[in-house]
Amino acid sequence: MEVTINHLFKSFGEHTVLNDFNACIPAGQVTLLTAPSGKGKTTLLRILMGLEKADSGEISGLEGLKQSVVFQEDRLCENLSAFSNIKLASPQLKNEMIEEALAKVGLAEYAHSPISKFSGGMKRRVAILRALLADYDILFLDEPFKGLDAETKALVMSDVKQRSQGKTVILVTHDPTEAEILGAVYTIEL
């Protein structure tokens, strides 16, 4: 079922971020959400995820959908290992499955090391894997590949494409090639 956004308004004080915004996000497809910086992409994602309330407007089609997300920030528990961070979000996952997924993105030997010892790129890979391995119907990707080098980015992007096949994905990125590789069919401009 598609997600429909009707007449959405959102302001922060005097600053209006979303002004009568309307859109339709098709189910089972990758949709690219694009706009210049500061125009409300993240705010829209936050409203869709239920982390922010719109001032007015209607959103339908999200009811009962399980969500997953890669935030702009990694948002990992620094005291836990990469393995435990993934397990925290998806306790139903089998241990071998998590270890296998970590190995696929080059983190096999660091699976049980604390996140606090990870580099920025390693943390990013864990944050992406956490989102991909979770049980979800709709996936929000807010500039997910930021901070990854070209080689790792290619590796991770192919993993994202494979694991999100047939799921509703909303991708926020400034890089059109990322949208192309992930197979974004629809584009919403704010």
Partner 1 sequence: MPKKNKRPGKIKVWAVAVWLVIWQICALIIGQNILLVSPVTAFQRLFELACTGEFWLSISFSLLRIIGGFLAACAAGILLAALSAKFKYVEQFLAPFMLTVKAVPVASFVILILIWVSSTNLSIIISFLIVLPVIYTNVKDGIASCDKQLLEMAQVFRISPMRKIRYIYISQIMPFFRAGCSISLGLCWKSGVAAEVIGIPKNSIGENLYNAKIYLDTPDLFAWTVVIILISLIFEKLFIYLLDKGIQRLERI
Which residues contact partner 1 by CB under 8 A? 49-51, 66-69, 71, 73, 75, 77, 79-80, 83-84, 87-91, 117, 130, 134, 140
Dist CA 89 CA 71 (whole Å):
14
75/174 with CB nearer partner 1: 75
Phi, psi dihedrals of residue 167, rounded to the nearest 5°? -100, 160
Please choose, from the candidates 103, 72, 105, 102, the residue with its C-alpha nearest in 3D space to the C-alpha of residue 85.
Answer: 102
134/190 with CB nearer partner 1: 134
Side chain identity at 150, as an amino acid letter? A
35/89 with CB nearer partner 1: 89
**Smallest distance from the beta carbon of 138 to partner 1, in angstroms?**
10
Phi, psi dihedrals of residue 145, rounded to the nearest 5°? -100, 15
**Smallest distance from the beta carbon of 52 to partner 1, in angstroms?**
10
Please choose, from the candidates 92, 170, 162, the residue with its C-alpha nearest in 3D space to the C-alpha of residue 134.
Answer: 92
**Smallest distance from the beta carbon of 109 to partner 1, in angstroms?**
15
